Structure 1
Amino acid sequence: MSKHQIDAEKVDSIILVDQGKAYTKSSAALRIARSLSGGYPLLAAFLIIPPFLRNLVYDYIARNRYKWYGKKESCMIPTPELKAKFLD
């Protein structure tokens, strides 16, 4: 992450590194949505909105997601294949 001048210890958001460029918050989420199936790729249209406005919505959702959807008491144990996709 230092290559992208991002201190992973200080970031409390999603980080996507794609083709050598790092994205955070709404930029990362919307770029990930492009590669999903179903209607999710349509969300990438919101990339035309300036990031400071998108991130206001992103932060609002992040603050309230547990209130709206609840929180699990335990997490799934990832398979080795899934674990390989994440940073240590």
Structure 2
Amino acid sequence: MPKWPDDDVILFDGVCIFCSRWVRFVAKRDTAKRFRFTPIQSDYGARLARTFGIDAGDPDTNAVVHGGEVFMKSDAALTVLSLLPGWSWVSVLFAVPRPLRDPIYSLIARNRYRIFGKYNTCFVPDADLRARVIE
């Protein structure tokens, strides 16, 4: 698997309402401001997606680069959550085998627009969060 030079970057679907809420959820709890965010619709996000084999036109996962490695699907969500203050307990969920976790993740990902909706244009964060967005 290729490496990525930037660390603690979360790749997300910027037109997905659920994904944008995920970004706001993480940003609010990330008091150390460790994570940065990039929409897959940005140049930087599209390059990151291509590097790791994610279809930027039809993304089926968010991803996080941590420790120079990329984590996708349920591994991405659990990695991010387990690194947030007060959420380290989430790491016990890594004990659930990925073949059981990822199908649930994929089911939600495939239906995210239908369930949660979709923005017409890419999510625009407030000024504080915008400073943590890489485009």
Q: TM-score, normalised by structure 2?
A: 0.47
C-alpha separation between the residues in 1 aligned to 2:78 and 2:100?
Answer: 14
Secondary structure of the corresponding residue to residue 82 of structure 1: coil
Unaligned 5+ residue runs, structure 2? 5-50
Q: Would you say 1:49 and 2:99 are equivalent positions?
A: no
Secondary structure of the corresponding residue to residue 73 of structure 1: coil
Q: CA deviation at 1:37?
A: 4.6
Q: Would you say 1:34 and 2:82 are equivalent positions?
A: yes
Moved over 4 A (4+): none
Give CA deviations for 1:20-39 in whole Å, capped at 9, x if unaligned: 2221110011011112355x
Aligned residue pairs total 83
Q: Would you say 1:21 and 2:52 are equivalent positions?
A: no
User: 1:7 is matched with which residue?
Assistant: 53
C-alpha separation between the residues in 2 aligned to 1:63 and 1:7?
Answer: 17
Q: TM-score, normalised by structure 1?
A: 0.65
Q: Which has the higher contact order (CA 8 A, sep 6+)?
A: 2
Unaligned 5+ residue runs, structure 1? none
Identity of matched residues, % = 30
Secondary structure of the corresponding residue to residue 3 of structure 2: helix
Higher helix share: 1
User: 1:82 is matched with which residue?
Assistant: 132
